[in-house]
A and B are shown apart, each in its own frame.
Chain A
Amino acid sequence: MFKKLIQESMGKSPWLFHINAGSCNGCDIELVSVLTPRYDAERLGFKLAGSPRHADIVVVTGPVTKQSLPRVLRAISQVPEPRCIVTMGSCPQSGNVFRGSYSVAGPLSKYVHVDVDVAGCAPKPEAVIDGLALATQILKEKRGQMK
């Protein structure tokens, strides 16, 4: 009975882990504004976790530079299954204006399975909330499959 209760409550409060993979800081600021009182994603249960081991959803910003790639993959591998990877902004999806640079190893989908793409440069906080809501649904499906 308790197990079911825990499963239910985990679905209601997915914790986020934010990875900056060489971002210009535009998307990072938008993600912070999502969590602060104006848009307040915390009222929907989203909470920024300090450790990848506590997280359910990984939000990646930035074009995944060569320096950050091993760290990104290490941090993502520490997130327990089921996990959901959300790319925020154009950079992790394609490299954007940094595409073809000697120091960019992206896009992220070359290395890990990406569940949700939020496009925009930078995305509006409303779009980020939409993306996180979609990620929560995907997380619920993944949890159902694991049982």
Chain B
Amino acid sequence: MDLPFVKEALHQLFSKSSCAMYPVVPSEAAPNYRGRIVYHPDRCLGCGMCERVCSGNAITRTVEHLPDDQGDKITLTFNLGSCTFCATCADFCSSHSIEFTGDYHMVATKEEDLLVSGSFIKAPRKKPAAPAAPAKAEACAAAEPAAEAPKPREDGKPVNDPAKCVYCTLCARKCPAGALTVDRAAKTWTLDEDKCVACGTCAEACPKNCIIM
């Protein structure tokens, strides 16, 4: 008598189960899995690039002006219930303050439990009237061909090298804070120091590497 599949049936009967047995056997996420967001406010510059590139509108940035010239309290809130975990915000963050972890246990009974929030206090800009004026003069002098290669500034804000600059306006278009104004016709490169957050996006975007941070 021929019994088909008996060998296979017996093999399956005594072989190990293919089930992952999840709650009993804990399971790690795969490497580079994009799970719960961890936000590092100590590294953040508050440029708002993450909020702009977020496709799911999961990131909200609130700026609270503190009294007595103490600066601004900037709070970033990530709503995991609205996130697609595409990590575009982390890719665009020049200070690497957004991190995607392998924690996938994002189960909540209240919507507030799915919010990841962090805040930092941004010190007010020092207001020395004298150094601000030469900086602007430097920017205006950018058109002059005889100007020497500029040195990086102490406050980490960008400086343009007019010898290399082609006034392509890429830096002004990429600036998340809208601090740069570039005029192609007049060949001027102007930095609004009040708006600049020194994130370095302009220097990364520059095709000629003429912006020095």
Contact = CB atoms under 8 A, between A and B. Distances in A.
Given A94-B82, A96-B56, A121-B85, A131 B20 contact: no
Interface string B1-43: 0000000000000000011101100010100010100000000
Given A90-B83, A94-B79, A97-B56, A117 B18 contact: no
B88 to A, nearest CB: 12
Contact of A116 (B23, B80, B107): B107
A130 to B, nearest CB: 5
Interface string B32-75: 01010000000000000000000111100000000000000000
B101 interface: no
A115 B84 contact: no
B114 interface: yes
Contact of B114 (A115, A117, A126): A117
B82 A129 contact: no
Contacts of A119: 80-81, 83, 106-108, 114
Contacts of A65: none
B19 A94 contact: no
Nearest to A34: B22
Indicate the size class of the contact surface on chain B.
20 to 34
Contact of B111 (A95, A109, A125): A109
A43 B23 CA distance: 11
Interface residues of A, number: 32
Interface string B182-193: 000000000000
Contacts of B92: none
A37 interface: yes
A123 B19 contact: no
B104 A123 contact: yes
B198 to A, nearest CB: 31
A130 B27 CA distance: 12
A126 B108 contact: no
A93 B105 CA distance: 16
Given A38-B20, A39-B22, A119-B114, A131 B81 contact: no
A142 interface: no
B56 A94 contact: yes
Contacts of A39: 19-20, 22
A93 B33 CA distance: 22
13 contacts: A90-B56, A90-B80, A90-B83, A93-B81, A94-B56, A94-B58, A94-B79, A94-B82, A117-B114, A119-B106, A123-B106, A125-B22, A127-B104
